[in-house]
Structures are given as structure tokens and as C-alpha cells.
Amino acid sequence: MSGTGIASPIGQYGVVTLGYWAFTLTDGALRMLVVLFLHGIGFSPLQIALAFVIYEFCGVITNLTGGWLGARFGLNLSMQTGFVLQIIALTMLAVEPSLLTLGWVMISQALAGVAKDLNKNAAKSSLRVLLPEGGGRLYRWVALLTGSKNALKGAGYFLGGLLLATLGFQGAVLAMAAGLTVVLLMGLVLLRADLGRAKQKPKFSDLISSSRAVNILSAARLFLFGSRDVWFVVALPVWLQTVAGWSPQAVGGYLAAWIIGYGAIQALAPTITQRSGAPDGRMAMLWALALAVVPLLLAVLVQDAADVTWLAVGLIVFALLFAVNSAVHSYLILAWARADGVSLDVGIYYTANAAGRLFGTLLSGWLYQTQGLTACLLAATAFMVATVLISMGLPQGSGAYLDKGESR
């Protein structure tokens, strides 16, 4: 194996994208498999939730260190390590049901959480390496990669249910592990070994970004994703089932369709915002301001089962605005990250992303249990107000890469 890989940047991008798609399908399918199967063998909702909390927590730690690993040893190694850990996590679950203790499942989900964020950090960072120029082209490619990933994660929910029905739990996780093994070997052969490796070996102290733009964007990202998960992860599906009277199948199908639609909108974000040119800090602030209105209106309009239509419409509007917000952020982190060792700044950014998801998930369960859906929506509004205020400090008037003088 030469380690030189495909010479063309487009070819490299294609391999990265295909690998990211394959990983994302298994990530979504695994989550659905774990929920459905563990619930079927008697795990309580709280026990299942604990497995996913460790998944998100490991994402925080991995993003903090994964960017350093990618910059020091190359994005290829980081990405393939993610595949290996996901394969291990899947095969760990292919044991007899009697051996699937909560602790065993939590270890498996911890590995899956590490795997996901190693893979994501490497895939996103590779775009900055493969596209040395900024502007609209990078924006389109980032939006396509991120949007297709989210759409495929929703499709993965359907895939998980299908595999469980046709192959059973053990057969499903082994089939996915076999598929990822093929993708792993493809990446080892076709990707450059030095992809994204920093010319100057970064120190561990470089985990903390010296870029004001990156740090402000990361803080905004934390509250942006917290605003979604504080009502979407726990409160929304429970409310739809217990208050609106939807069946578990209807709830799962609706949320999967929502994620697929959200991903499709995200991929189209450059078309939606094209009149404004490449994103800058002002665009990020204005789209955050528009999104802040949605949970506030829903908190006023949705009180009981009779208001489920308002909720369904609000979810569509929320998907549109949140998708554009996320796409703009995803472009800006690559445009403003350091050129040498891009994964370091991307790692800081996705650490904030994972922290927002973790905090939002925990707060969603607690607020809904103690005060109901309205409190969760008001918390989402507060999170978005914080996102707007933080975004006011982002650089404006620059849609391309910031040079060292501007960004440091």
C-alpha cells in the first residue's frame, strides 16, 4: 500500500464524502436499533437515555482532542480510526441478549461517540485542505456534505428498523460492521496518508484556539445546538406520544422525515442565501435572530393536543431556519480556521457543538419532566437570544478565508 492515494483533490473529496455517508448511515441505524431492541428486552427509557448521554459526552472529549490528533498525524488516520472504533462498537453488540447489560451497552455507545466525532472532524476539515480558496465554492461543498449527512442520518433511522425486522439485532449490527470494513479498506488505499497533517507539529496547548473569530463562533454554536436539543430530543417525542396521542411508529417516522428534510434544506442553503454572497458574521447573526422567533411563537401557540397542527407547521419553519443557520456556521468555521492544522480549530468548534447537544439533551428531560413543553420552548428561545448576542461579535464583511492578521 503506497499511502499516496488519489492525486486529484476532487477524487479525494469523493472518497471522503462516500466514507462519511456510509458512516452516517450506520450511526443513525445504530441509534434506532439500540432504542428499539433494548426497549424490547426490558430496558427502561432512563437506561436507554443514559447510553446516549455517554455517547454525547464522549463526543465533547473527542472533539477537543481529535482535532489535535488530525493535525499531528493526518486526517486520514483520524478518519480510519473512527471507522475501526465504530466496527468494534457494532460487533460488541453482537452478543447474546442476556449479555447486553447497561454497562456493556454504554461502553459500546462510548466507542460509537468517539468514532462519530473522529470521522466528522476529519471529513469536515478535509474540505479546507482540498479547497485552498474560500468563497462560494467552499460554501456549496460544505453545505452539500453537511446536508447530505443529516439526510442520510434520518434515512439511517429507517435502515435500522428495516435491518432489525429482516436480519434481527445481531445480524443487523454484523452486517453494518462488514459494510464499514469495506469502506475502511477503501479509504486506506485511496486517501493520501498525509491529508491535513500540519507542517509544524502542534503542541497539546494548541487545543485552545488563538482565533477570536473561531472562539466566538464556537460559543454561538454551543447555544445554537442547545436551542434545538432542549426541546427536540426528549420533550418533543414524549409530548407527541403522551399528549398528542401519536403512536411510537408515527413519532419515529415523523422525526426521521424531519431530519431528512432538514438535511435537504441544509444542502440547499447556498441557493437560499445566494443573493447575500458568501456568509459572514452579519449573516450568521441575522439568521439566528430569525430562528429565535420560532420557539417563542410555539411556546405561545402550543398548549395541548388541539394545537398539534401549529407544532407541525412550526417544526417545518424551524427546520428551514435552523438548517441555514447550521450551514452558515459550518462554512464559517472552515473559512476562519487556521490553514496549517485546520482540524485544531474545527475540533474546538465541534467541542462546543457537542457540549450544546449534551447540555440541551439533559435540560430537555429535566425541564419537560418538571415544567412541560412550554418551558422547553422558552429555554430554546433564551438559547437563541444568547446565540444572537454572541454572533454580534463575529467578523463582518469577509466571506472568504481570514488571513492571520484578521483571525488571530
Does 183 reside within a domain?
yes
pTM, entire model: 0.79
**Assigned C-alpha cell, 293:** 422567533
Does 166 reside within a domain?
yes
Name which of 14-28, 268-282, 323-337 the model is least confident about: 268-282
Query: CA-CA distances (angstroms) from residue 86 to 3, 42, 290, 322?
Result: 23, 25, 37, 28
Q: Please give the sequence-ordered ranges of beta strands (E in DSSP) within 68-217, or none if there are none.
A: none
Rounded-to-integer distance, Cα 324 and Cα 305, Å? 29
Q: Write the DSSP string, 290-346.
A: HHHHHHHHHHHH--SGGGHHHHHHHHHHHHHHHHHHHHHHHHHHHHHS-STTHHHHH
The residue ranking higher by pLDDT, 254 or 326, is: 326
Contact, 119 vs 152, CB < 8 A?
no
pLDDT bin (cut points 50, 70, 90) of residue 404 is: very low
Does 136 reside within a domain?
yes
pLDDT bin (cut points 50, 70, 90) of residue 1 is: very low
Cα 117–Cα 120–Cα 123 angle in degrees, nearest 5: 150
Does 1 reside within a domain?
no
Does 4 reside within a domain?
no
Mean pLDDT, residues 305-334: 92
**Assigned C-alpha cell, 289:** 435572530
For the stretch 233-280, pLDDT in tens is 778 888 887 888 888 677 777 888 888 888 899 989 988 887 656 788
For the stretch 352-378, pLDDT in tens is 998 998 888 888 878 888 888 999 999
pLDDT at 95 over 80: yes
pLDDT at 398 over 80: no
> Residue 100 has what pLDDT?
83
How many CB atoms are closer than 10 A to CB 2? 7
> Residue 276 has what pLDDT?
59
For residue 337, what is the domain's CATH number? 1.20.1250.20
Does 3 reside within a domain?
no
The residue ranking higher by pLDDT, 190 or 192, is: 190
Domain holding 163, by residue range, is: 9-198+206-407
> Residue 164 has what pLDDT?
84
Query: Per the structure, how many domains does the chain have?
Result: 1
> Residue 125 has what pLDDT?
77
Query: CA-CA distances (angstroms) from residue 91 to 48, 156, 220?
Result: 19, 18, 37
Does 315 reside within a domain?
yes
Mean pLDDT, residues 163-183: 91
Does 2 reside within a domain?
no
Mean per-residue pLDDT over the chain, rounded: 83
How many CB atoms are closer than 10 A to CB 198? 20
